[in-house]
Amino acid sequence: MPRGETAQVEIDDTDRLLLNNLQGGFPVTHRPFAQVAEQFGLSEDEVLTRLRRLVETGALSRFGTILNAPQLGGERTLAAMRVPAERFEEVAAYVNGLDTISHNYERTHAFNMWFVISSEDEADIARTIAQIERETGLEVINLPTLEEYFVDIRFRF
């Protein structure tokens, strides 16, 4: 994602406290925000007001769940292609148009297009790769996860 594309949001120390400590473990109870507020020595109302503002300003994508796609069923893989510069936009439009493509990034390498293929049906992965190779005439390398060491994004702000 190009730098400067997303507006930067200013946050203060209390926002930072909430952001750094609430990226998981939110209580599943009747009054969860009150519980969290007590932990930080804030009022329930202040926690809610701050979280609403963080969502409204775009500092938070949302306040809620992070799903575990593999546990929900379905298959996914990471794939990459070397796309000639003059064909990049055309190939990107084609690849993005496929339902089984969930992410696609341009990256700084001879392998310059990196995408995630996801489907409930494992056979769709191979079908998608074959289809892209056939339609674009370009080779796709398939890089499925063999082992996953740690997947838990928590940012420090």
Residue holding tokens 């390498």? 109
Q: Which one of 103, 105, 109, 141 is the catalytic residue? A: 103
| Smaller CB separation from another protein, 62 or 134 | 62
| Smaller CB separation from another protein, 41 or 149 | 149
Min separation Cβ 131 and another protein, Å: 16
Min separation Cβ 134 and another protein, Å: 18
Tokens of 53: 């503002």
- Own/partner long-range contacts of 141-147 (Cβ < 8 Å, ≥24 apart): 141/79, 141/80, 141/81, 141/111, 142/77, 142/79, 143/77, 143/78, 143/79, 143/80, 144/77, 144/78, 145/76, 145/77, 145/78
109 catalytic residue (yes or no): no
Give the active site residues: 103
